[in-house]
Amino acid sequence: MSKTPVPKGFTPVHSARFGKKGSQKLAGYEADGGYASWKKVAKGWKSGDFTPAKIIDMVKASGLRGRGGAGFPTGLKWTFVPPKEKRGGKPVYLLCNADESEPGTFKDRLIMEEDPHQLLEGMLIASAALDVKHAYIYIRGEMVRCAEVLNEAVAEAYAAGYLGKDILGSGLDIDLTVHRGAGAYICGEETALIESLEGKRGHPRIKPPFPAVSGVWDCPTVVNNVETLAAVKFILDNGPEWFKGMGRNEKNTGPKLYCVSGHVEKPGVYEAPMGIKFMDLLALCGGMKGGKKLKAVIPGGASAAILTAAEVADLPMDFDGVAAAKSMLGSAAIMVMDETTDIPKAVTNISKFFAHESCGQCTPCREGTPWLNKMLKRLIKGEGKRDDLDLLLQISNQMGNGMTICVFSDAAIAPVISGITKFRDEFEAYLSKAKAPDFALAAPAEVTPKVADRVAEGIHG
């Protein structure tokens, strides 16, 4: 039913019901086999056919990695929650990260708006596995329609007995609340999300402790992305081997929603097996807009290093494939730029976003992000100074290397460093009428390998 083309031989998974009339409604979901896995889990709970360990083992065996940015193995993350006897009576919470604010990312919105019950079913299964009695969906405030659809779906699930007390006679009690944030990019960072859910300003926390040990209200907390949790439902439906069989290799598995924007004929969300080659994805989108030449690609949202056309020519679009090219898959927000794109202007635009969204707790980030933006704006106005490119790299160096509470600062410098490094001639062209520097830089500014490595490792923690 999915309206977008998929690769030959691939059957859509997350997007199978997108666009279908009444896809949001429980009746339609059940008619398409929805909640079958949840019913199986609930039925097998008392008999011991289904246990937390069995579900966690299935998720581990599937190779599922988090779809929120870092690509952390989901089953492994779940094992970090301390066992009941070590929790001091504290409850465990599951938080679904539906903040979806990374520029260029719009896949979670479609799951929530088009097929919300796939997410709810995944969350119910995850809650049973993690001994969660209360799960939350933290949704970005601006996504009003999504929140409405989700709230209707939650009400339907309660009415059908899939949520609430003694679910389907299993003895499982699970509540689910949709919580609307106020709309800040940083609230997508898991510890800022936790602070925000607690009613405080969305400021990231120093890690460790990690949320699995001490998260919301100081209780063990698992934070997972919308697409990650929805995938759990499909793993239970079809088995881990089915999921694993779909990827490029055993570390990059499953179906994947790719958000493609920019200079392509048909921008949109495309579902494909994890690890589809960039050029094949581009072909699904109808190719480059107006037949223009490909110049550059941002493969994983504004936080990802820019790749050149040559770098993406044979690139598998999965966590390890993009990391090997020293960028990251992130939230799979792929921004395509054609030959007419002015890279310094694109980088300046991105730097404005980061300057606006810094939470301000750490000096390098609070001061560095507007400084980069100010210098870049000056540069593209033709008012740059001769040393500006080296200074931009030097400032970037001082903002990275783990000197801040969260990796937002590393994200902010990735487009600047990669832009200047790979398209230096374009930046220099803006400097052709550059003024003499106000001061000489103390030492030749270079991007240290440490910064480059950290960006390449993938910055979303």
Contact between residue 198 and residue 217 where contact means Cβ atoms under 8 Å apart: yes
Say how far apart CA 294 and CA 300 lie, in whole Å.
Answer: 17
Interface positions, 198-227, toward ligand FMN (CB under 6 A): 223-225
With CB under 5 to 8 Å by kind, the binding choice for 102 among ligand SF4, ligand FMN, none is ligand FMN
Token pair in block for residue 409? 């600062």
Compute the half-sphere exposure of residue 73: CA atoms within 13 Å on the CB side of its CA: 16
**Residues 98-117: x/- map of binding to ligand SF4 (CB under 6 A)?**
--------------------
Which string of x and - marks every residue 154-193 that binds ligand SF4 (by CB under 6 A)? Answer: --------------------------------x-------
What are the DSSP calls for 25-51, one per residue?
A: SHHHHHHTTTTHHHHHHHHHHHHTSS-
Burial letters 72-96, b for 16+ CB under 10 A, else e: bbbbebbeebeeeeeeeeeebbbbb
Taking the complex as a whole, how short is the minimal distance between the CB of residue 360 and ligand FMN, in angstroms?
13
Nearer to ligand SF4, 73 or 370 (CB): 370
Nearer residue to ligand SF4 within complex by CB, 186 or 296: 186
Residue 204 CA to residue 182 CA, distance in Å, equals: 16
Per rule CB under 6 A, is residue 358 in the interface with ligand SF4?
Answer: yes
Residue 409's binding partner, choosing from ligand SF4, ligand FMN, none, with beta-carbon cut-off 5 to 8 A by kind?
ligand SF4
CA atoms within 13 A on the CB side of 383: 6
CA 243 vs CA 6, 166, 251, 376, 458: distances in Å: 17, 30, 12, 44, 24
The answer to whether 101 contacts ligand FMN (rule: CB under 6 A) is: yes
> Residue 228 binds what, of ligand FMN, ligand SF4, none (CB under 5 to 8 Å, by partner type)?
ligand FMN
Q: Vertex 237, ends 235 and 242: CA angle to 5°?
A: 55
365's tokens = 């980030």
Give the contacts of 126 (CB within 8 A, at least 6 positions apart).
55, 78, 94, 132, 135, 222, 224, 229, 232
Point out which span in 121-129, 227-235, 259-267, 358-366 binds ligand SF4 (CB under 6 A). Answer: 358-366
CA–CA separation, 456 vs 330, rounded Å? 11
Closest approach of ligand FMN to the CB of residue 66, in Å: 2
What is the smallest separation between the CB atom of 201 and ligand SF4, expressed in angstroms? 11
- Site mask, ligand FMN, residues 63-82, x = CB under 6 A? ---xxxxx-x----------
Nearest CA to 273 out of 249, 289, 296 is that of 249
What is the Cα–Cα distance from 69 to 273, expressed in whole angstroms? 17
Among residues 37, 409, 423, 445, the one that binds ligand SF4 under rule CB under 6 A:
409
Nearest residue (CB) to ligand FMN, 192 versus 391: 192
Helix intervals (H) in 302-434: 309-312, 319-324, 343-357, 363-380, 388-399, 408-422, 424-430
| Region near ligand FMN per CB under 6 A, out of 25-33, 147-155, 383-391, 403-411 | 403-411
Q: How far is the CB of 419 from ligand SF4 (least distance, A)?
A: 20
The piece of 93-101, 152-160, 294-302, 405-413 that touches ligand SF4 (CB under 6 A) is 405-413
Which of 30-38, 188-196, 208-216, 388-396 is the region at the interface with ligand FMN (rule: CB under 6 A)? Answer: 188-196
Helix, strand, coil % over all residues of the chain, rounded to 5: 45, 15, 40
Closest to ligand FMN by CB, 226 vs 315, is 226
Q: Which of 305, 306, 355, 407: binder of ligand FMN (CB under 6 A)?
A: 407
Q: Which does 26 bind (CB under 5 to 8 A by kind): ligand FMN, ligand SF4, none?
A: none
Q: How far is the CB of 192 from ligand SF4 (least distance, A)?
A: 8
**In degrees, to the nearest 5, what angle opens at C-alpha 232 toward C-alphas 230 and 233?**
75
- Nearer of residues 45 and 78 to ligand FMN, judged by Cβ: 78
How far apart, in Å, are the Cα atoms of 320 and each of 243, 264, 415?
18, 25, 19
Interface residue list for ligand FMN (CB under 6 A): 66-70, 72, 97, 99-102, 186, 188-190, 223-225, 228, 406-408, 411, 460
Interface residue list for ligand SF4 (CB under 6 A): 186, 204, 358-362, 365-366, 404-406, 408-409
